[in-house]
Every structure is written in C-alpha cells, then in structure tokens.
Amino acid sequence: MFGCGIYGFITRKNMIAILISLELMLNAVDINFAVFNRFLFPGQMEGMFFSLFAIGLAAAETALAIAIVINVYRAARNVDIRQLTKMKF
C-alpha cells in the first residue's frame, strides 16, 4: 500500500490524485503502526493511539491541501502539476 502511494505520488499529474496517493501512504503508515504494535508489544497501546493521532492530523492536512488545490485551480484553471510553472524562475 505504501508502494502504491509512492508510485502514485511520482507518476500522477493531477494534484488531487497526488493528494490521494499521499493519503494512501499515510494510511499505510497508520496500518503499520497498529499492526506492529499488535505483534511486537501486545500489552501496550502507544502505536494504536499514534495511529489515531495521525488520522486526525491527516484529516486537517487534507483539508489544507484541498484548500490549496482549489485556490490553485482558481488561479490557473488547471490542476495539472506539470503545467503549473508560473512561479518557476
């Protein structure tokens, strides 16, 4: 799942798709946290809570990113990452 996220992040042109890939990676990490906590330290709950914390953070981060994407779309009428070269020197 993490690999899928990386692949998507590198290859997608659409900013929304890139954002989804990013979420995929985050979720992969969350799952890893939960799973490894369960297997390695069965009596403890830190990994679980960390996952919950990361999910909350991811929600906020996604909201921010979506806002940026929308603003970019308003400015450029486009969300293609390869054509957004206006700010490039």
Partner 1 sequence: MELSYTVAVLIIPVFMFLFLGIVGVKLSKKTAGILGTLAMGVTTVIAYAAAITYFFGTDQGQVVDGVRQQLTVLDLTWLEFTKNLVIKIGVLLDPISAMMLIVISTVSFMVHLYSLGYMDGERGFQRYYAFLSLFTFSMLGLVLATNIFQMYIFWELVGVSSYLLIGFYYTLPAAVSASKKAFIVTRFADLGFLVGILILSFYTDTFDFMSLTSDPQAAISTAGGATFLGCSVMTWALTLIFMGGAGKSAMFPLHIWLPDAMEGPTPVSALIHAATMVVAGVYLVARLFPLYAVDVTALEIITVVGAFTALYAAAVACVQSDIKRVLAFSTISQIAFMITALGVATPELHEGVGYMASMFHLFTHAMFKALLFLCAGAIIHAVHSNEMSAMGGLRKYMPICHIAFLIGCLAIAGIPPFAGFFSKDEILVAAYAKSPIWGVWLSVVAGMTAFYMFRLYYKIFWWNNPDYGHHTPHEAPMTMTFPLIFLGLVSIVAGFIPFGEFVSVGRADYSGFHIHVDPKVAISSVVIAVIGIVLATVMYRKENDIPERLANRFRGLWTAAYHRFYIDEIYQFITHKIIFARISKPIAWFDRRIIDGTMDLLANVTNSASFAVRRMQSGSIQTYVWFYLVGAVAVAVITILCLI
> Judged by CB under 8 A, which stretch of 36-44, 47-55, 58-66, 80-88 contacts partner 1?
80-88
Nearer to partner 1, 39 or 89 (CB): 89
- For tokens 């590198």, name the residue: 10
DSSP string, 37-67: HHHH-TT--HHHHHHHHHHHHHHHHHHHHHH
The phi, psi pair for 41, rounded to 5°, reads -130, 75
Per CB under 8 A, 81 contacts partner 1: yes
Print the binding letters for residues 5-44 with partner 1: x by CB under 8 A, - otherwise: -x--xxx------x--------------------------
